[in-house]
Amino acid sequence: MKIIWLGHGSFRIETGDRVLLVDPWLTGNPALQENLHDEAINGATHIILTHTHFDHVVDVLPLAKALKIPVVGQYDLMGFWGESEGISTIGFNKGGTVDLGGPKLAMVPASHSSTFTTEDGLRAGGSEVGYVLMAEGRTIYLSGDTALMADMDWIGDYYKPDIGILSAGGHFTMDMQQTAYAAKRYFKFKTLIPCHYRTFPILEQSADVLIKALPDVAVIEPQVMQAIEV
């Protein structure tokens, strides 16, 4: 399995014959140069969406239509898009698990918000979620944008993820210190990949705090378009 950071909270995960784009943000993403966009989405089979803030959703509908692939996400939003946008969707809800043709994806809670801008102002876009991805004998917790939350207790105990991809930039989500706290208290990760940082000056710029706090965990600072093999 290959985990490839596209900058910010966006990832490309290659597993078997599936290529999963998680919150793919291309347009205006300062971490992902435009000449890398085609490579980032090449061969994609599914788009996985955690919530509808612009830095996660702006390219989802255009990509779904251009690539003719389904968007996987929260039931209410997927139902709306299926009818209004004419795209293929896989809608489910927290507590559910879907089969993506090999990889299994479970939806779990997150603590954040999920809105998008319309001509009439902000509107809710379903609810914010995280995921647990099970593939090739590995279990990955994709936190999405979230604050620290007690739900991490049962997520860690029930799914026992060995890999974490956690938001850690602060201001909008957990910061590095909070992510370290969550990893120590709720999980037994072998590998931890921080994300949603370094994109803007307001966010954390280094994972040094996280690395120092977790000496027994392989904390990997991702580099854009460089595969992490797990």
221: domain CATH number is: 3.60.15.10
Taking only the tens place, the pLDDT of each residue in 101-113 is 999 999 999 999 9
Contact 98, 20 (CB under 8 A): no
pTM attached to this predicted model: 0.97
19 backbone dihedrals φ, ψ, rounded to 5° = -125, 110
Confidence at 54, pLDDT banded by 50, 70, 90: very high
The number of distinct structural domains making up the chain is 1
Give the model's pLDDT for residue 146: 98
pLDDT band at 228 (very low <50, low <70, confident <90, very high): very high
| Structure confidence at residue 117 (pLDDT) | 84
Range of the domain at 219: 2-229
Mean pLDDT over residues 117-134, rounded?
91
Measured between alpha carbons, how far is residue 29 from residues 5, 17, 122, 193 in Å?
12, 27, 22, 19
Predicted confidence band at 2 (pLDDT cuts at 50, 70, 90)?
very high
Secondary structure of 2-28 as H, E, C letters:
EEEECCCCCEEEEECCEEEEECCCCCC
Average pLDDT for the chain: 97
pLDDT (tens digit, 9 = 90+) per residue, 58-102?
A: 999 999 999 999 999 999 999 999 999 999 999 999 999 999 999
- Is 54 in contact with 117 (CB distance < 8 Å)? yes
Burial environment of residue 152 by CB neighbours within 10 A (0 to 12, 13 to 18, 19 or more):
buried
